[in-house]
Chains A and B, each alone.
Chain A
Amino acid sequence: MTAVSTSYLHDLTLSLPEVFLLGATLVVLFVDLFISQAHRQLTYLLSLLTLVGTVVLLVAVPEGRHVGFAGMYVTDGFARLIKLMTAGTVAAAFLYSRDYLIKRGLFKGEYFVLALFATLGIFVMASAGNLLTMYLGIELLALSQYALVAFDRDSPIAAESAMKYFVLGAIASGVLLYGISIIYGVTGTFDLSMLAQRLDAHALTQVGLLFGLAFVMAGVAFKFGAVPFHMWIPDVYHGAPTPVTLFLGAAPKLAYFALSFRVLAEGLGSMAGAWQGMLMVLAVLSIAVGNVVAVSQTNLKRMLAYSTISNVGFILLGFLTATPFGYRAALLYTITYVLMALGSFAMIILLSRKGFEADRIDDFKGLAQRSPWFAWMMLFFMVGTAGVPPFAGFFAKLYVIQALVEVGFTWLAVVAVLFSVVGAFYYLRVVKAMFFDAPADDAPIGGAFSFKVLLSLNGLAVLALGLFNTPLVELVAKALR
């Protein structure tokens, strides 16, 4: 016991980014209480500063794998990459959402505070060395997300989708927890590295473990939004205010990747033979349902929601190979997808103005005449997500397919490519609306300077990471050695 207590200083130094993030979030929460609406910009700036400080501390964390808090907390290259990407994504989400929130009277401190708490939840998940910490991280993230979705109190559709999300999310958390408790009952440990030691080749023949794994898998699939646990995604994406959708669609995907990697690959790695089959069903269904249903959507937010489902299928495809190359491909895919999802939702925010949501595909008609530059940016995001070379999305898909073929799942690769072709249709429909249809309205394109610069950078990054993708590939390879 004394050995544990003397190492607190060491533990706190390891987890300094999280400690700082929590402390600074509490400061933001307090400062926001005492300032008037006119000074709300201060909350926004402090939130951004919090993220900058966190990034600085993250870079200073010693390299290599370190364990703290009696095995509850793990920091390694993977955790660092996920955390850095998360901090960057959340900062981008803040920049994108400011104008939208101000125009609709939603510019309140709680948006930023809840988003920062969600970020902390993602950090905890990325660094979880124990199923207990992992679950607490999931709940921290989920609770903040439910509140964010219901954030616009005057919108009945937001309240409805928040209610759906909350009820389904609570059930999924219960299912996940049930699975965890069964695994604990069989192995007697919550610790992920201990779990990996105790499970050997015999694990696959144990009914109790398989039972627990099935429940854990259902929980993970719900969080990701994989078919058949996807029902909440279109409603929540459609109902939530667009900046919240942008937040939900981006950073949490990294967290769920961390969840699957830590629990399935690290903890239950020796049961890969069992979860591969489950993931196969989830992935194929996701790609099929996501791509086919998205074709019939007229609402862009709903279309992007189904596109998320199909992309989650791709992430799971990379993951189910259970090879280091497959994990890397899946992580690369997740990062690329997050980048493109950010941009796509930001485009909706750009075209929206007070009292008008540009969330239908028709609202993008003739964008090429209204603003050629941003029409091209949207083209980058759409074509990039569809997986057309030379954009980033193409290489992400290529690596996943390569990983599949390497382990002999050629038929899965064929299915994935076939449905991607179906998917290309609805992405190109947006492009067609932008470039070949007459504009429906000619309102000037709004948006602050910083917003436009960030959006342009985001779009160019989708192109640049496709043309020169070695830095990202090396980054991911370094994280998942």
Chain B
Amino acid sequence: MLTTILFYVFSAVLVGAALGVVLSRNPVHAALCLVLAFFNSAALWLLLEAEFLGIVLVLVYVGAVMVLFLFVVMMLDINVAQLREGFTRYAPLGAMVALLMIGEIVYAVWFRQLGVNLAGSAPALAPGSNTAALGELLYSKYMLPSELASVVLLVAIVAAIVLTLRRRPNLKQQDINAQVAVRSIDRVRIMKVDSVTRS
């Protein structure tokens, strides 16, 4: 009972937030609405007892992707009016794509028997925490792929550094050590100037 109520509450907020993403005029508001939508989808995952997916959704999408997104949106001065110029022109195309997708979803939900399932349906979720189950799989059966994935990430770091870090020999920059170690005799010269009496 409580789960059902929670489901409808989260779903309602999710749908509202999703509408906000599309309809709000201010891109920052749209991005914040997307964050709200992510939070509510994470809550829905939690209701389904898929807590790992819920946590990852918050950590990765809210914590990393959307923050970057907000940065970009705030830094770029986006003229919304200009973006909407071609709206009416592309509206029929958009509607067509939307209808097509609705059709596909309906087809997939109602006529799922495509005769391609050799393996049978997926086994039911094991009782207990699925984070623990995933972790155990990741470090036992899938140890090699997860280690390899980390090597791929390392290569990405090395490649990014190779391609962006560059020492420019003629770049003017501060040398703090030299600045601190400077002595007065390096900078101030005391000159003896003969006094001249003007007649």
A binding-site residues for B, Cβ under 8 Å: 1, 4-5, 8, 11, 15, 22, 29, 69-70, 72-73, 108, 110, 113-114, 117, 120, 124, 130, 132-133, 136-137, 139-140, 143-144, 146-147, 150-151, 153, 185-189, 198, 206-209
Contact = CB atoms under 8 A, between A and B. Distances in A.
A147 B152 contact: no
Contact of B152 (A73, A136, A150): A136
A392 B70 CA distance: 60
A343 B63 CA distance: 51
Interface in B150-184: 151-152, 154-156, 158-159, 162-163, 166
B52 to A, nearest CB: 18
B113 interface: no
Interface of B: 114-120, 136, 140-145, 148-149, 151-152, 154-156, 158-159, 162-163, 166
Given A4-B141, A188-B120, A146 B148 contact: no
Contacts of B142: 70, 72, 132
A136 B149 contact: yes
Given A29-B158, A117-B154, A143-B159, 14 more contacts: A1-B140, A72-B145, A114-B162, A117-B151, A124-B148, A133-B148, A147-B158, A153-B166, A186-B116, A186-B117, A188-B117, A188-B118, A206-B115, A206-B116
Contacts, number: 84
A72 B144 contact: yes
B162 A110 contact: yes
Nearest to B147: A22
A117 B151 CA distance: 9
Contacts of B156: 143
Contacts of A114: 155, 158-159, 162
Given A69-B144, A70-B140, A133-B148, A147 B117 contact: no
A4 B140 contact: yes
B144 A73 contact: yes
A150 B156 CA distance: 13
Contacts of A5: 140
A150 B160 CA distance: 11
Nearest to B160: A147
A104 to B, nearest CB: 15
B118 A186 contact: yes
Nearest to A212: B116
A140 B117 contact: no
Contact of A143 (B115, B120, B155): B155
Contacts of B154: 117
B158 A140 contact: no
Contacts of A206: 115-116
11 contacts: A69-B143, A69-B144, A70-B140, A117-B154, A117-B158, A130-B145, A132-B145, A136-B148, A147-B163, A153-B163, A209-B116
Contact of A117 (B114, B118, B144, B155): B155
Contacts of B148: 124, 133, 136-137, 140
Contacts of B115: 206
Contacts of B114: 208
Given A132-B142, A132-B145, A136-B145, A144 B159 contact: yes
Contacts of A207: 116
Which 7 pairs of residues, A with B, have the shortest CB-CB distance? A188-B119, A147-B159, A208-B116, A69-B144, A136-B148, A72-B144, A70-B141
Given A185-B116, A187-B119, A206-B116, A144 B140 contact: no
Contacts of B162: 108, 110, 114, 147, 151
A444 B151 CA distance: 44
A208 B114 CA distance: 9
Nearest to A208: B116
Contacts of A198: 118-119
Contacts of A136: 145, 148-149, 152
Given A186-B117, A187-B118, A140 B152 contact: yes
B158 A189 contact: no
Contact of B158 (A69, A110, A185): A110
Contacts of B119: 187-189, 198
A15 B120 CA distance: 34
A445 B93 CA distance: 63
Contacts of B166: 153
A76 to B, nearest CB: 17
A5 B139 CA distance: 9
A11 B140 CA distance: 12
Contacts of A187: 118-119
A109 B148 CA distance: 22
A152 to B, nearest CB: 11
Nearest to A144: B155
Nearest to A117: B155
Contacts of A185: 116
Contacts of A208: 114, 116
B129 to A, nearest CB: 15
Given A150-B163, A189-B119, A206-B116, A140 B136 contact: no
A29 B155 CA distance: 11
A101 to B, nearest CB: 14
A15 B162 CA distance: 29
